[in-house]
Amino acid sequence: MAGILHAAPWAFLLLWGSGAVVGKIGLQHGSPWSFLLARSAMALALMWVMARFRPRWVAVQSGQVRLSITAGEVANAVLLQVVYQAAFFLALAGGLSPGTLAVILGLQPFVTCLAAGDRLDRWRFAALGLGLLGLVMVVWGTRDVDAQAGWAMVLGFAAMTALALGTAFQRRIGGDPLRSATLQSLVSTLVFGGVVAFTGWDAKLNAAFVLSVIWMAVAVSVVATLLLLVMINRQQASRVGILFYMVPVVTACLDYLVFGTTIGWLAVFGAVMVVMSLRLFAIGTR
């Protein structure tokens, strides 16, 4: 169990960082709503299977599991799996590049700290500022900053805000990570199902679309989400939030491998600054 928790941040970064790249591939073959519905429904089915055969790394102590569902849990499910996911994919579909979206999402640790009420000493404040500066340098170094539609930018900020608030609220709610993830998948499936019932199904069931949905459902919606919830339940929300500074670095590397996006020396230097910010943040928590 200790080994899994130690490796959880790095596994989370790789899986979560792949979301924008894989999502970009999937959106080339289907509408955002159809993609989101397929992802949520498959994730819900996988969560149900995992609930029947609970892995040890998502085990909970006696008394943490409860059957009742609170309004707060439903509201948080809407934040993390409906508002965040919808805004994220609609922003990409609207022309916002993954790099620009990564800069916006990089503001998430600041909002998480404020929403969670975590104290910011000088070390942690310096770490957050250094990480944000490094994040901007990474995206600028990939030459991925360009003019974007105003509404797509708004959607990007909506995604960031929903993720930050959801991360902070989940820390307060706590409880069973698998139960929380299953509830979130159920809520998102019902919401996106209703949207698709109104707008109609629009997707090509080719290999690219299907494989993208499978990866997003299994790797991101199930494994990465459970890792995120487990880490939130065991750490301060801001300590988990700082991991999101590393996500654009991972995304930039994957973007280069998949789409051939150039990574300049500025991006490399920015990545080093992000790593330094993580170290500085760790010093501030001692």
* Dihedral pair phi/psi, residue 203, rounded to 5°: -160, 145
Q: Write down the pLDDT at residue 65.
A: 45
Question: Are 259 and 30 in contact, with CB atoms under 8 Å apart?
Answer: no
Give the dihedral of Cα atoms 97, 37, 203, 157; nearest 10 deg: -20
Q: Write down the pLDDT at residue 240.
A: 67
Q: Write down the pLDDT at residue 57.
A: 44
> What predicted TM-score, i.e. pTM, was given to this entire model?
0.77
Angle between helices 19-27 and 247-259 (to 10 degrees): 40
Question: Are 159 and 90 in contact, with CB atoms under 8 Å apart?
Answer: no
pLDDT tens for the 286 residues of the chain, in order: 555 566 778 888 888 888 888 998 999 999 999 999 999 999 899 888 877 776 554 444 444 444 456 777 888 889 988 999 999 999 888 877 777 777 788 777 777 776 666 666 777 778 878 877 887 787 677 655 555 567 888 898 899 899 888 877 877 776 677 777 888 889 999 999 999 999 999 999 999 999 999 999 999 878 887 787 777 766 655 566 667 677 877 887 887 888 777 767 887 788 788 778 777 776 655 5
CA angle at 76 for the pair 74 and 77, rounded to the nearest 5°: 65
Round to whole Å and give the CA distance between 7 and 19: 19
SS3 82: helix
Q: Which spans in the chain are helix H?
A: 2-17, 19-27, 32-52, 71-77, 84-93, 98-105, 108-116, 122-141, 150-173, 177-199, 207-215, 225-234, 237-241, 247-259, 265-284
* Distant-in-sequence, close-in-space partners of 24: CB < 8 Å, separation ≥ 6: 92, 98, 259
Query: Tokens 């792949």 belong to which residue?
Result: 18
* Distant-in-sequence, close-in-space partners of 168: CB < 8 Å, separation ≥ 6: 112, 115, 116, 237
Query: Tokens 């934040």 belong to which residue?
Result: 79
Angle between helices 32-52 and 207-215 (to 10 degrees): 50
Paired tokens of 246:
């590393």
Round to whole Å and give the CA distance between 88 and 160: 8
Would you tell me how many other CB atoms lie within 10 Å of the CB of residue 136? Answer: 18
